[in-house]
Chain A
Amino acid sequence: MEILVCIKRVPDTSENEIEINSDGNDIERDDLVYSVNEWDNYAVEEAIQIVDKVGGSVTVVTVGDDESEEVLRREMAMGANNGILLSDDAFEGSDGKGIATILKGAVEKGNYDLIMTGAQADEGAAQVGGMLAAMLDYPYASLVNLIEAGDGKLKVGREIEGGNQEMNEIELPCVLSIQTGINEPRYVGIRGIRKVASVEIPEMGAGDIGVDAGAIGGDAAKVKRVDYFVPDTGEGAEMLEGSTEEIIAKLIEYLKAKGGLK
């Protein structure tokens, strides 16, 4: 099975405090720790496991700049066979539809049976996979937490509300968005990264993938972020301060009063 996994380099929210910059037009990017989007990492692991079982190859692709190459290399160190960097000034400012349009161009350059994305990324929109599928006229399933490969089709489980799992049969080729927890992504060590450090990763622009520059980028985007801001969240929590002993004493008083201690 030929599998394409779409990945993204994102600020690692478990490692960073996200602050808004003074102009309010971006977050503070200095000193941010970046990594591969967590959901995408599960998708790549799943792709590798499928190929281990049924044969084929895994290609990882991202839309980004030179810095995005590091996440492609990281996923290749995990076991992805090929990487593609989609990079072009014309891509900048694309909304979700623009990104899906760019990825569609890359999909059509290859011959993939299965395309995967993470269920969502840093913008929390969970949109690119479903858009890409609709553009390609491929069937789509989101929030997938189980895949069983069959002949010309897959059995997939979708994680839905209440921890229930919705089982579906889906024909290939298809697009799936992958939920975390579907597998246990393998560890990537320094040695693994070194092994793929000199592997050439092809870079493609709008012309290479046959994408009309007028359909992507900031000018084509119907959805645009205007600014970041700190919401007025009302009172929020009463922050307990002081020495640890003082904080704990105060907290225990609260817990006693609210029935938190038995």
Chain B
Amino acid sequence: MDNVSILTDYQLLVVIVNFGLGSKVLKIAKQEGIGGGTIVIGKGTHRQPILEFLELAETRKEIVMMIAPLRLVNPTCDALEEKMKLHKPNHGIAFVIPVAKFMGMGKYDRSYKLNEGGDVMTEYQAIFTVVDKGKGQEVVDVATQAGAKGATLINARGSGIHETSKLFNMEVEPEKEMVLILAKHDIVQDIISAITHELDLEKPGNGILFVQEVHQTKGIR
């Protein structure tokens, strides 16, 4: 499975930091040349028995997800580690996940190297679509018509190269919705085409979509 890690020229860079620092992460990444990113609010905890008993162990986190071209992944990670002090404890974590397909940002990426390795890797794939708030339901509807059995909507905020604005010197990222669809690999292409077409993702600024391999599923029939 060595070749799995390089499926496209893009990878998904995920950074989890304390609440309020997400915009800073995105800003640093943009300085390194990354087009944009999506931020989701989450809650995190780490093992501390006394605090857990007192129910105080939970902290608010921001999860920043960015699609990065391969050549930018390492420099961005290094820059983030240095500026966000990720090497110190409790300053956040970052990791990189391979991406099977990616489109949006005006580039329609047709170069899937899915079959180059010779074997179909997984039965299921995860399709992530990030669109402006309010359009998530449309994505779900289109995907359902194309054969998807369900979808999960996640509230997020984020910005691409076309959306940057500042208020009192603070970055403001517009609201987004992230749609997660798990689908069998044989209908993935249909769903992608339908979403790309209906939401006009080939045009810049309308949203992005990427696909990841899923190695195990439970609960999908």
Chains A and B belong together in one complex: no
Chain A residues with CB under 8 Å of chain B are none
Chain B residues with CB under 8 Å of chain A are none
